[in-house]
Chains A and B, each alone.
Chain A
Amino acid sequence: MSVQTYTPREFHRQAHDALGNPQIRGNFRKAMDGLMTKRRDSFGDWDLETLRELGANIRLRALAKLPDLLERLEANCQANGIRVHWAEDGEEACRIIREICQAHEARSVIKGKSMVSEEMHLNAHLEAAGIEALESDLGEYLVQLNEQTPSHIIMPAIHLNTDEISEILHEKTGTERTRDVDYMTAAARQQLRERFMAADVGISGVNFAVAETGTLCLVENEGNGRMTTTVPPVHIAVTGIEKVVEHLRDVPPLYALLTRSATGQHVTTYFNMISSPRKEGEHDGPKEVHLVLVDSGRSRIYQDDELLDTLRCIRCGACMNHCPVYTRVGGHAYGTTYPGPIGSILSPHMMGLEETRDLPTASSLCGACGEVCPVKIPIPDLLVRLRREAVGEGRGNVPGAGVKRTRKEAAAWKSYQWLATHPGAWRSGTAVVGRLKALMPAKLGAWTEYRTAPEPAGRTLHALVKQHQADKPGGRTPDKEERR
Chain B
Amino acid sequence: MSARDTILNRLRERADGPLTAPECDFAVVTDRGWGLDERLARFERWITSVHGEVIHAPWETWTEALAQVLTRKGIRTLALGREHPVAAEARRALADADLELVDVDRDIEGWQQEQFECVDAGLTSVRGAVAETGSLWLWPTPDEPRLISLVPSIHIAVLDAETIEDTFFDVVERHGWAREMPTNALLISGPSKTADIEQTLAYGVHGPRELVVLVRHVDADTEKSL
A interface residues (Cβ-Cβ under 8 A, vs B): 27, 30-31, 34, 46-47, 50-51, 53-54, 57-58, 60-61, 63-67, 70-71, 74, 86-88, 92, 136-139, 142, 155-158, 160-162, 165, 181-182, 184-186, 188-189, 192-193, 197, 212-215, 221-224, 226-227, 230-231, 241, 247-253, 255-256, 263, 266-279, 281-285, 293, 295, 299-300, 302-305, 308, 397
What separation, in Å, do the CA atoms of A39 and B217 have in the docked complex?
35
Contact A66 B11 (CB under 8 A): yes
Contact A54 B206 (CB under 8 A): no
- In this complex, the member of B15, B181, B204 whose beta carbon has the largest number of chain A beta carbons within 10 angstroms is B181
B interface residues (Cβ-Cβ under 8 A, vs A): 2-4, 6-8, 10-12, 14-16, 18-29, 46, 50, 104-108, 112-113, 116, 132-135, 141-142, 145-147, 150, 167-169, 172-173, 177-178, 181-200, 202, 204-208
Contact A223 B206 (CB under 8 A): yes
Contact of B146 among A46, A214, A284 (CB under 8 A): A284
Contact of B185 among A86, A189, A227, A275 (CB under 8 A): A275
Determine how close the nearest CB of chain B comes to the CB of A344; give it in whole angstroms.
22
Contact of A253 among B28, B191, B204 (CB under 8 A): B28
Q: Which A residues lie within 8 Å of B12 (CB)?
A: 67
Q: Which B residues lie within 8 Å of A304 (CB)?
A: 15-16
Contact B186 A303 (CB under 8 A): no
Determine how close the nearest CB of chain A comes to the CB of B208; give it in whole angstroms.
8
19 contacts between A and B (CB under 8 A): A50-B27, A53-B25, A57-B22, A58-B24, A67-B11, A155-B195, A155-B199, A189-B205, A222-B205, A222-B207, A223-B207, A230-B146, A250-B24, A255-B168, A267-B135, A269-B188, A269-B207, A277-B183, A284-B146
Residue of A nearest to B191 (CB): A269
Q: Which A residues lie within 8 Å of B28 (CB)?
A: 46-47, 50-51, 54, 253
A285 with B146: in contact, given A61-B24, A274-B183 (CB under 8 Å)? yes
Contact B10 A226 (CB under 8 A): no
Q: Which B residues lie within 8 Å of A54 (CB)?
A: 24-26, 28-29
Contact A269 B193 (CB under 8 A): yes
Q: Which B residues lie within 8 Å of A250 (CB)?
A: 24
Contact A87 B15 (CB under 8 A): no
Contact A252 B29 (CB under 8 A): yes
Determine how close the nearest CB of chain B comes to the CB of A175; give it in whole angstroms.
12
Q: Which B residues lie within 8 Å of A248 (CB)?
A: 172, 177-178, 181
Residue of B nearest to A285 (CB): B146
What separation, in Å, do the CA atoms of A17 and B197 have in the docked complex?
23
Q: Which A residues lie within 8 Å of B10 (CB)?
A: 299-300, 302-303
Q: Which A residues lie within 8 Å of B8 (CB)?
A: 67, 70-71
Contact B168 A252 (CB under 8 A): yes
A249 with B181: in contact, given A61-B21, A299-B7 (CB under 8 Å)? no
Q: Which B residues lie within 8 Å of A231 (CB)?
A: 112, 147
Q: Which B residues lie within 8 Å of A30 (CB)?
A: 199
Q: Which A residues lie within 8 Å of B169 (CB)?
A: 249, 252-253
Known: A92-B3, A275-B185. 10 other contacts (CB 8 A): A54-B25, A61-B24, A88-B6, A139-B196, A248-B172, A273-B186, A274-B184, A275-B183, A283-B108, A304-B16
Contact of A51 among B18, B29, B185, B188 (CB under 8 A): B29
A284 with B15: in contact, given A54-B28, A215-B181, A224-B205 (CB under 8 Å)? no
A253 with B146: in contact, given A189-B205, A270-B187, A283-B104 (CB under 8 Å)? no
**Can you list the 7 inter-chain pairs with the closest CB atoms, starting with the nearest?**
A223-B207, A139-B196, A267-B133, A271-B187, A223-B206, A64-B19, A64-B21
Determine how close the nearest CB of chain A comes to the CB of B219; give it in whole angstroms.
27
Contact B205 A165 (CB under 8 A): no
Contact A269 B197 (CB under 8 A): no
Q: Which A residues lie within 8 Å of B188 (CB)?
A: 269-270
